[in-house]
Amino acid sequence: MALAQLPQLKPPRPVFFAHPRPAPVARGLRSALQDGWQVIPGTALAAAAASLAARRKRWTPQRAIMWHDDLDALAPVTKKVYMDIAGGDFQGRIVLGLYADLVPKTCENFRALCSGEKDFSYKGSCFHRIFFDFMVQGGRLEGNNESIYGGRFEDEESGLTLYHERPGLLGMANDGDSNGSQFYITTAKTEMRH
């Protein structure tokens, strides 16, 4: 439904370990880092290591990585919304483009939840599911996981032909043919999982 508008970044370098011990896969990343494994700065693993070291109670995105090389527009962006991300302090802003010509009802639901014009909104909610090689999911609202339409609403027919085959795409997290307030943003090519 939407494409995050982010600055162009180069793909991260491959991850290499500078230690002669066996690979830490069986032991886990945290124990490997505690044992003194050296991680090359600027890699995705270095970012994960920094995140583990901080041991925050809630993860909040500070930077998103996306390549524009293969991101042709799916349709014209008709509206833009943003989310200011904070983890105590302001961390940054995510700008999302909405394809209201393709999925108008879904886009209006998301836009209204971002703007807070109804009695409930995304303000104060968190990203409650994070899969670094898949997506980040948010929008689980306190006491209300419904849409602005007073409950859940069905998938839009035109949206069923869209695939989230690249990073930076926004979709509604649903249970079958029912949409509420929860959404996700892809962080990698999803191989048509959604």
- Of the options 2.40.100.10, 3.30.2130.30, 3.30.43.10, 3.40.50.1950, the CATH number for the domain spanning 2-6+63-186: 2.40.100.10
Q: What pTM did the predictor assign?
A: 0.61
Helices (H), the chain: 29-34, 44-54, 104-115
- The pLDDT tens digits for 74-126 are 677 888 998 888 877 888 888 888 888 888 999 999 999 999 888 888 888 88
CA distance 84 to 90: 7
Name the band, by pLDDT with cuts 50, 70 and 90, for residue 71.
Answer: very low
For the chain, the domains span 2-6+63-186
- The pLDDT tens digits for 40-60 are 555 555 555 555 555 444 544
Residue 172 in contact with residue 106, Cβ under 8 Å?
yes
